A and B are shown apart, each in its own frame.
Chain A
Amino acid sequence: MSRRRAHEEEDGYDRLQKKRRRVSENQEIEDRLESLILRVGEKSTSSLESNLEGLASVLEADLGTFRLKILRILTDCAIRMPEKCTIYTTLVGLLNAKNYNFGGEFVEYMVKTFKDSLKACKWNAARYALRFLADLVNCHVLSASSLLQLLDNMIDTANEDNVPQVRRDWYIFAILSTLPWVGRELYEKKEAALEHLLVSIEIFLNKRSKKHHNALRVWASDTPHPQEEYLDCLWSQIRKLRSDNWAEKHIPRPYLAFDSTLCEALQHNLPKIIPPPHQDSNKYPMPWVVFRMFDYTDCPEGPILPGTHSIERFLIEEHLHSIIELYHLERKDCAAHLLNFPYKLKIPLEYCIVEVIFAELFNMPSPRFLDIAYGAMLIELCKLQPSTMPQVLAQATEILFMRIDSMNVSCFDRLVIWFSYHLSNFQFRWSWEDWESCLSLDSEHPKPKFIKETMLRCMRLSYHQRIKEILPANFSCYIPEKAEAEYKYAKEGAAALPGTAAAHQLVVSFRQKCTPEEVLNVLKDLPNPRPDDDPASESRFNPLKIDVFVQTLLNLGSKSFSHSFSAISKFHYVFKILADCEEAQICILRNMFELWYNHQQMMIVLIDKMLKTQIVKCSAVANWIFAKEMCQEFTKNYIWEILHLTIKKMNKHIIKLGGELAEAREKLARAESSESEDEEEDEDKKKPEDAEKPTEEMVERMEEKLEAAQGDQKNLFLIIFQRFIMILSEHLVRCDTDGRDYNTHWYRWTIGRLQQVFLAHHEQVQKYSPTLETLLFTQDLDPHVLEVFHQFVSLQG
């Protein structure tokens, strides 16, 4: 509340009341204007043209009081509703015709939005702003020549030296994706300049590197649909549009109805816009590969699916992607808006939607939203359109299965996870017999492997007996083992094992609620099978003690995850005592595996828990996965689930420490600057925040902690990549020597898994690229392996 001097109180109060009334009236009008503007173009009893005309008049009248608000709302609409671009540009065009100054102010506002988006690396917003500016040429608000000047400046930016290619690519992409709106107008008014622009773009495209292309493909094969690099594809689409004389039929153009009015308006010129220079901290959009799984032959009779190089295909896909972007947090709204696509009568809508959703799910290196978001969207779509959507989805699944041989490993995983999730929502109903042909294939072939891995996931969501019920009899080889513990000390023949007596004693102790010390006591007399004078080992750990303890304890907790976690927690101390070095930790993992090898999900959560409670280190897990004894498990999906959760844990830890350090540094800096100001104040007057202020020493310790953690992270990646290189090189050399084809199933899975590590964690791995290049991925490496590294490097190049 503001201070009021006593004698003015009466006046002040009145003024306040009047102001309140005015403010609330103004607020009401503002809200009404906002609502009118936001809703224009939506379903209405009147035509769009009359709505626009009416709205333009209303806004013109309010330009006096609400100019700034109107500017802001229109700009917001331009950025947040790019699919309504032409509606709002028409509105601006009409306003400009009525009020030239307003038109000029709007252009300034939009130019600022464009520049701010570029500076803030908000790339989609920048593109939508550019599109809006371009369309303003169609509405006679901007001159064609000034737009071309801007586009030329952007070409100059694209041709800069010593900046990442992803930056340069974006500027060309932005220009190309704008041309569908304004190409025709430029062709009619400034053909020569437009041609010149296109030639410059062509030169750029011919020179750019596309090394990243193979890393981002979903399928290794280009049959039946080539997977084009995104800029190549858009360029083909623009070239086709140009060959059609820029006649584009998809975008609605309300301004055509107002041509006579708009022609009378005076045009503005854009100010000179120089894109902000590159900063090392800038993050540019990653390149992508255009995902295609359907062509017009896949769709039934009806509206035709636009061809791969038609601009319509690009526009439709971009629109569908932006609907997903806008509504991905509300799956029901998302499905409704997708099915309500404005031009749905012109296209086989379900096919387009399914293709776009799978495009996002299979996006490399990773989908922009959670996998489950797409799964949930597809379920909602099936609910809303039960007569058509499930069939299209089934057809899509069939297609994906047919082409799974050449699908990359990351996408294979996602397909397994999606399919099992989808089935679990529809009583696991599927026509498995259609896939009978895969019974005759090698079990490591992607097709049978897909079925096997899907069943494993389905079992996690249901139970063993259910899986037996859903598969036909001849598919029994794909039924997973029952997920049960195999506790050797309670089986026949256990008497012959060295640890049995201690194991049974331990069971009794556990049942009597013993302490960790008592456990160690039970184990203390177990002999150490390792030779006393083993020079290779760092410590004197006893694998037999670990065996008896780990297997007995985890078997005791076998009833559920919670039971196991509780057991681990209660006897955490024993773990730490028995396994103080990495070798011993690997021994823990080995024993966990011996007990739980049939329950993949249990092993995953146990390892997660042991990492979290620091019973095992990340490097121990990595080394264990690549150990010779695990080679039978090596190509199973769960192994990689374990590796990736391990890497992610490390990554999260680093990010957390980095965040804490940055916060502490900031607090310290602020405290220091305010200290110098307060130097003259009374020392006794301490501010409450002083207690929170970090000391230099604290910050230093945090820095050391982060550095140590980064050392661990680098070490982890080095271990993983080195192991990959070793086994792959060994395989390649052996095949070469024996004269065999190296391209076995095992090879394809393994090299795929290597690539997956790079792509799934590229942001973190990037930090160590120079080290990796110097130490591991040297020129003498087999080219097949080196290629994977080079493709990864090219992603942010």
Chain B
Amino acid sequence: MSSPSIKLSSYRDQLFKGSRGDQDKLLRLTTTLYVGNLSFFTTEEQIYELFSRCGDVKRIIMGLDKYKKTPCGFCFVEYYNREDAGNALRYVNGTILDNRVVRTDWDAGFIEGRQYGRGKTGGQVRDEYRTDYDSGRGGYGKIVAQKF
């Protein structure tokens, strides 16, 4: 039986140090998930509570604004085994945490430095370019906000 919920997505980390093949290999073995679309106010505690329901969480690393060092709407959740991480993809991905739909995906593994946003102003890239108003993620996208 194919299991689409836990298939690798099309996303690949552009700053990954290694070949595409290396990254794919890590993605197929990893027990770490990327979690996105969080509000800036979502806490580590809330993430623990939800993701613990899929298995024992080894650690959570909050994604931070590179300059402000405050949460910027993503995190890494690492489990002890891949099956638990897979269950988070099956049962948590696309459901609600802190009143927002969370998105989860396989991650090749946390390395120091990857906890920082890569957007020019310090947050995530997507918050540079988006045009909508999102009160949980600092309001308007940075480029749009600058125009005001």
Considering the chains assembled together, what is the distance between the CA atoms of A326 and B1 in angstroms? Answer: 9
Considering the chains assembled together, what is the distance between the CA atoms of A681 and B57 in angstroms? Answer: 50
Task: Check A376–B99 contact: CB distance below 8 A.
Answer: no
Interface size class of A (residues with CB under 8 A): 20 to 34
Q: Which residues of A contact B48 (CB under 8 A)?
A: 561, 601, 605
Contact of A560 among B4, B45, B90, B98 (CB under 8 A): B45
Task: Check A562–B90 contact: CB distance below 8 A.
Answer: no
Contact of B45 among A372, A421, A457, A460 (CB under 8 A): A460
Chain A minimum-CB-distance residue to B43 = A560
Closest Cβ–Cβ distance, residue A599 to chain B (whole Å): 9
Contact of B96 among A417, A425, A602 (CB under 8 A): A425
Task: Check B45–A331 contact: CB distance below 8 A.
Answer: no
Considering the chains assembled together, what is the distance between the CA atoms of A463 and B41 in angstroms? Answer: 10
Q: Which residues of B contact A331 (CB under 8 A)?
A: 5, 90-91
Closest Cβ–Cβ distance, residue B80 to chain A (whole Å): 9
Considering the chains assembled together, what is the distance between the CA atoms of A371 and B97 in angstroms? Answer: 17
Task: Check A376–B95 contact: CB distance below 8 A.
Answer: yes
Task: Check A460–B46 contact: CB distance below 8 A.
Answer: yes
Asked whether any CB of chain B lies closer than 8 Å to the CB of A26, the reply is no
Asked whether any CB of chain A lies closer than 8 Å to the CB of B44, the reply is yes
Considering the chains assembled together, what is the distance between the CA atoms of A601 and B49 in angstroms? Answer: 8
Q: With A561-B60, A601-B49 known to touch, is A372 a contact of B54 (CB < 8 Å)?
A: yes
Task: Check B44–A462 contact: CB distance below 8 A.
Answer: no
Task: Check A370–B53 contact: CB distance below 8 A.
Answer: yes
Asked whether any CB of chain A lies closer than 8 Å to the CB of B62, the reply is yes
Task: Check B91–A376 contact: CB distance below 8 A.
Answer: yes
The A interface is mostly helix, strand or loop, or mixed, namely helix
- The residue among A370, A371, A457 with the most chain B CB atoms within 10 A of its own CB is A370
Q: Which residues of B contact A602 (CB under 8 A)?
A: 45
Asked whether any CB of chain B lies closer than 8 Å to the CB of A427, the reply is yes
Q: Which residues of A contact B61 (CB under 8 A)?
A: 562
Asked whether any CB of chain A lies closer than 8 Å to the CB of B8, the reply is no
Asked whether any CB of chain A lies closer than 8 Å to the CB of B135, the reply is no
Q: Which residues of A contact B91 (CB under 8 A)?
A: 331, 370, 372-373, 375-376
Asked whether any CB of chain B lies closer than 8 Å to the CB of A159, the reply is no
Q: With A330-B5, A379-B95, A427-B99 known to touch, is A462 a contact of B46 (CB < 8 Å)?
A: yes
Asked whether any CB of chain B lies closer than 8 Å to the CB of A708, the reply is no
Contact of B60 among A326, A375, A460, A562 (CB under 8 A): A562
Chain A minimum-CB-distance residue to B58 = A612
Asked whether any CB of chain A lies closer than 8 Å to the CB of B144, the reply is no
Task: Check A373–B97 contact: CB distance below 8 A.
Answer: no
Asked whether any CB of chain B lies closer than 8 Å to the CB of A406, the reply is no
Asked whether any CB of chain A lies closer than 8 Å to the CB of B70, the reply is no
Considering the chains assembled together, what is the distance between the CA atoms of A372 and B90 in angstroms? Answer: 10
Q: Which residues of A contact B53 (CB under 8 A)?
A: 370-372, 417, 421
Task: Check B50–A461 contact: CB distance below 8 A.
Answer: yes
Task: Check B45–A601 contact: CB distance below 8 A.
Answer: yes
Asked whether any CB of chain B lies closer than 8 Å to the CB of A501, the reply is no
Asked whether any CB of chain B lies closer than 8 Å to the CB of A439, the reply is no
Q: Which residues of A contact B54 (CB under 8 A)?
A: 370, 372
Asked whether any CB of chain A lies closer than 8 Å to the CB of B19, the reply is no
Q: Which residues of B contact A379 (CB under 8 A)?
A: 95
Chain A minimum-CB-distance residue to B56 = A608
Task: Check B92–A372 contact: CB distance below 8 A.
Answer: yes
Task: Check A330–B3 contact: CB distance below 8 A.
Answer: yes
Q: Which residues of B contact A375 (CB under 8 A)?
A: 91
Chain B minimum-CB-distance residue to A421 = B53
Q: Which residues of B contact A565 (CB under 8 A)?
A: 59
Asked whether any CB of chain A lies closer than 8 Å to the CB of B121, the reply is no
Contact of B44 among A326, A329, A560 (CB under 8 A): A560
Contact of A461 among B1, B5, B97 (CB under 8 A): B97
Considering the chains assembled together, what is the distance between the CA atoms of A329 and B7 in angstroms? Answer: 12
Q: Which residues of B contact A372 (CB under 8 A)?
A: 53-54, 87, 91-92
Q: Which residues of A contact B1 (CB under 8 A)?
A: 326, 329
Q: Which residues of A contact B98 (CB under 8 A)?
A: 461-462
Closest Cβ–Cβ distance, residue A338 to chain B (whole Å): 16
Task: Check A373–B45 contact: CB distance below 8 A.
Answer: no
Interface 1/0 per residue, A383-423 and B, CB below 8 Å: 00000000000000000000000000000000001000100
Considering the chains assembled together, what is the distance between the CA atoms of A421 and B91 in angstroms? Answer: 12
Taking CB atoms and an 8 Å cut-off, the chain A residues in 281-310 that contact chain B are none
Asked whether any CB of chain B lies closer than 8 Å to the CB of A424, the reply is yes
Taking CB atoms and an 8 Å cut-off, the chain B residues in 28-85 that contact chain A are 43-46, 48-50, 53-54, 59-62
Closest Cβ–Cβ distance, residue B5 to chain A (whole Å): 6
What are 28 A-B pairs with beta-carbon distances under 8 A?
A326-B1, A329-B1, A330-B3, A330-B90, A331-B90, A372-B53, A372-B92, A376-B91, A379-B95, A425-B96, A460-B49, A461-B46, A461-B49, A461-B97, A461-B98, A462-B46, A463-B46, A560-B45, A561-B44, A561-B45, A562-B44, A562-B60, A562-B61, A562-B62, A565-B59, A601-B45, A601-B48, A602-B45
Residues of A with Cβ closer than 8 Å to B? 326, 329-331, 370-373, 375-376, 379, 417, 421, 424-425, 427, 457, 460-463, 560-562, 565, 601-602, 605
| Known contacts A329-B5, A376-B91, A461-B97; 4 further A-B pairs (Cβ under 8 A) | A463-B46, A560-B44, A562-B59, A601-B45
